[in-house]
Structure 1
């Protein structure tokens, strides 16, 4: 997908959360370790919810911000994740899965932080900051839940 505007970026992010959710759900059915399956199920559900939330930005976002062109954002540092699912999470233990998901969210947070810092119009800056805050909040929520699961 070629990303030229904030609308494209939000659509790409929504798709990224969708693909991650689908992959996690698939891996949950195949993982041998019960704790890892529970984590994968939780994360799949969480990513699906995040997909819907991001879609709200796409549908209800400021029209001017959505049309704002984004220059040179992915060529700088593309997000690395399992874009196609060949069951990569089935090969990881509980902690490995958590590390992968935290890394994924850290990359998205870094992307939105970079965009918020470089946005040229207030509407685009506000949208990037709102997306940044959403991703940060959700990463903290995941961290809390993973911590609780580790205590079990």
Structure 2
């Protein structure tokens, strides 16, 4: 049984946001349409912001919570979704949003899994707060793309279910 500390799990999530930012940034070079490049730029900067928020969050969490040991660590496959996601040679806006929704779903699953596995109520509360934050991020992405007229509403709703 792996025994990860809560701070190790936070670091894993922070690295995930960092990799997502790089992923979106690297996709900008292959994007043919300006609209797609603009969305990728937004997503890259947004992931950088989330990474820094998580870093600040890690510093603000009590040492007692951060140093808590978890009997069951996260499922490693949950955050490896970047490498397993099918990247098309030419991604359109819809493909980028589908990727973003997929990655948000992976983080939601990750935080939910950690909240369910922990025995410490304070640690559980931290993961539940991160879960709520990530669910909010997914809804905001859906809302933003619909407001900008980037996607058909039906496609966004299918991706969030």
TM tier relative to shorter chain: 0.7 to 0.9
When normalised by structure 1's length, the TM-score is 0.84
Distance 1:10 1:31, change over 3 A: same
User: Does 137-146 or 25-34 show the bigger shift?
Assistant: 25-34
Partners in 1 of 2:73 and 2:17 — Cα distance? Answer: 22
Runs of 4+ in structure 1 displaced over 3 angstroms?
none
Would you say the 8 A contact 1:21–1:45 is kept in 2? yes
Partners in 2 of 1:127 and 1:109 — Cα distance? Answer: 13
When normalised by structure 2's length, the TM-score is 0.80
Trace 1:112-127 onto structure 2 (pairs within 5 A). 112-127=111-126
Would you say the 8 A contact 1:108–1:135 is kept in 2? yes
Q: Give the structure 1 partner of residue 159 of structure 2.
A: none
Distance 1:130 1:93, change over 3 A: same
Partners in 1 of 2:48 and 2:141 — Cα distance? Answer: 13
Would you say the 8 A contact 2:78–2:107 is kept in 1? no
Q: In structure 2, the residue corresponding to 1:120 is in which secondary structure?
A: coil
Q: Give the structure 2 partner of residue 147 of structure 1.
A: 146
User: How many equivalent pairs are there?
Assistant: 147
Would you say the 8 A contact 1:28–1:90 is kept in 2? no
Trace 1:1-150 onto structure 2 (pairs within 5 A). 4-70=4-70, 71-75=72-76, 77-83=77-83, 88=87, 91-150=90-149
C-alpha deviation, 1:89, in angstroms: 6.6
Partners in 2 of 1:12 and 1:47 — Cα distance? Answer: 14
Would you say the 8 A contact 2:20–2:47 is kept in 1? yes
Would you say the 8 A contact 2:28–2:40 is kept in 1? yes
C-alpha deviation, 1:151, in angstroms: 4.8
